[in-house]
Amino acid sequence: MLPFLHIARLSVPTFGLMLWLAAVAAAFLMDRNFRRARISADAVGMVAIAVVAGIVGAKLWHVIDTPIEFREEGWRVLWDTAGFAWFGGLVFGISALVIQGLWAKIGALRTLDLAAPAAAIGYGIGRIGCFLSGDGCYGLPTSLPWGMSFPNGIEPTLVRVHPTPLYELAAGLLIGLWLWWRGSKPYATGAIVGQYLVLSGIARFLVEFVRRNPKVLWDLSNAQLASAGSVLAGIVLICWAATRPAIAPEEAAAAVEKPA
């Protein structure tokens, strides 16, 4: 593993580097989606604000989810490069996009539709940072041929475990590519973000079975319970969108002058 890149006298954390690359990729994809929909708003700025909000939310949710770390380490846990919760990042990031979408008069749901492919692919790329740094986001021990140990990670292990960040990378890329393709076809407002919530929720729910997170209810982890909520919310959005007319991407900009 490679937690840090050593360049001259500088030590660059690979987690932060991959987070930056994820933000750049997400900004590029959202900008392309805005152009495809003929929307002139600042997609790059919107992604930047959403990324910051997502990082804050992911860290706060992790602290709430694991209070024992806060009791042991105090406020230092807030600055630790390890420990970010997917659900907190999702909620804060979506909230930031909704507010910005309303402010730009694009519409809340329309903004989330346009951001969904970027969110999926950006999340997948960001998980490479967890993999390279070995920050403890790996899975349970396994005898499968692709099992890996993390002897030089931030939280090292010599046991061969599931490389769950790579599973999430693959899931994020596949979901993002699907949503990008689906966004090129006529769709009703809310349908794309609904599919994102369902697909990303299912992916995270499944990967949790081979992660080492503690079970809290019905033999499920906090992340699985949050994922189930994500899937339910996505199903509701998809069903609601099915009652609305489908609009081609090039026609959608004029149709969302009012907030969704």
| Identity of the residue numbered 136 | G
What's the chain's average pLDDT? 83
**Residue 65's pLDDT is what?**
62
Band the pLDDT of 260: cuts 50, 70, 90: very low
**Would the pLDDT of 107 be above 50?**
yes
Q: Give the angle 88-90-96 at the CA atoms, nearest 5°.
A: 100
How high is the pLDDT of residue 205? 94
Among positive and negative, which fits the CA dihedral 167, 168, 174, 178? Answer: positive
CA gap 61, 88 in Å, rounded: 5
Q: pLDDT at position 7, please?
A: 75
Q: Is the pLDDT of residue 29 over 80?
A: yes
Q: Are 159 and 97 in contact (CB under 8 A)?
A: no
State residue 219's pLDDT score. 86
Q: Report whether pLDDT(255) > 70.
A: no
DSSP summary character for residue 10 = E
Q: CA-to-CA distance for 146 and 186, rounded, in angstroms?
A: 40
Q: Above 70 in pLDDT, residue 106? A: yes
Q: Which has the closest alpha carbon to 230: 69, 64, 104, 119?
A: 119
Could you tell me which residue, 199 or 133, shows the higher pLDDT? 199
pLDDT of residue 171: 96
pTM above 0.85, yes or no: no
Give the list of residues 6+ apart from residue 146 with CB closer than 8 angstroms, or none: 163
Q: What is the pLDDT of residue 258?
A: 47
Q: How many CB atoms are closer than 10 A to CB 149?
A: 17
Exposed, middle or buried: residue 214 (CB in 10 Å: 0-12, 13-18, 19+)? exposed
Question: pLDDT class for 112, splitting at 50, 70, 90?
Answer: very high
Q: Could you tell me what percent of the chain has a pLDDT over 70? A: 83
Q: Which pLDDT score, from 0 to 100, does residue 129 have?
A: 83
